[in-house]
Amino acid sequence: MTMADQVSKNPLIKQAWLRVLLFGCCFILVTLAVAIPALQLIAGIKPADLAAHPLTTVAAFSPQYLWLFILIELVVSLISVGGFVLLVDRRPFVSLGWTWSNFQQEALTGLFFGPALLGLSAVIMLLSGHLEWTDITWDPSALFVSLGLMLMIAFSEEIVFRGYVLGSLLDTFPNKWIALIISSLLFAVFHISHPGMQTLAFINLFLAGLLLGVNYMYSRNLWFSVMLHFSWNFMQGPILGFRVSGFALPSVLVAEPKGDLFITGGDFGLEASIMNTALCFIAIFVLAWAFEKKYQGRPLPTLDNVDNASPVAA
């Protein structure tokens, strides 16, 4: 390897924490550059309203134009992460953790773990009298659109919060849990403008960040978190009929939560339920134990060896 090749692989900014900080600023600027024109042209939001009351204005329009907000999120994520990875970190996009070989088991675990947790929550609510399914609707086109939207959300948020933010923080902090906690807090803050947001919802989103990132700490691979994120949202909204982080979607089962909002989650949905808190705590500890045991004796991957990472201990 020549000296020129080595230099070309070194990050433009050496400190990973500083890259994360600058990435956050870049993400905000790109969001404004993309979202403001899109919301004005397509949703008809007035610039004055957006400037005076950004959060309330966005919240008022988001249910009607949910597809637009998800598309904006995807575009912003690709531009921000892609730009930073290629131009600042000076590494290929695939280094975020897109290696498929040897990670199929992790992907399947994530895919089935989400529906298992949501299904268990729904059964508990049903048996305790806090849930009734009042109807069944079958609209294949709406279900297909929802599937696409949930995939877009999972892909865009995972490349940001696990792929870039958590990946960079793991190179900053010797303790991997500190990196996971910080990235999970940022993940929760990102959702703070969603309809029905309240304290327990914020706590549960933080726990969801821990749950989504626990595999990435050991593997530096995104397939587990992407599959878990997708299956969680798709099962929760389009299948079981709950709100997804405050947003109502067309669903196969028409759900009618009843009783204590502490149990049902209120307007935010099941993600603001105390049951979700308990199940996420249990799931985090179970997965952390399982992955710690699986990867025991193997050095944690870094940006230098992430492409060769394998879940099978040597």
Residue 4 pLDDT greater than 50, yes or no: no
What are the pLDDT digits (tens) for 242-274?
Answer: 999 989 999 999 999 999 999 999 989 999 999
Check: pTM over 0.85? Answer yes or no: yes
pLDDT at 42: 87
pLDDT confidence bin for 59, thresholds 50/70/90? low
The DSSP symbol for 256 reads: E
CB 208 within 8 A of CB 179: no
Tokens of 239: 């299948």
Measuring CA to CA, how many Å separate 124 from each of 12, 213, 233? 51, 26, 19
Cα within 13 Å of Cα(303), Cβ side: 22
Integer Rg of the chain from CA:
20
CB atoms near residue 120 (< 10 Å) = 14
The CA-based angle 26-16-210, given to 5 degrees, is 85
CB 27 within 8 A of CB 88: no
CB 99 within 8 A of CB 220: no
* Single-letter amino acid, residue 289: W
What are the pLDDT digits (tens) for 151-198?
Answer: 999 999 999 999 999 999 999 898 999 999 999 999 999 999 888 899
What are the pLDDT digits (tens) for 85-129?
Answer: 999 999 999 999 999 999 999 999 999 999 999 999 999 999 999
Tokens of 54: 């950004």
**Nearest Cα to Cα of residue 128 among 310, 297, 274:** 274
- % pLDDT > 70, the chain: 88
- % pLDDT > 90, the chain: 73
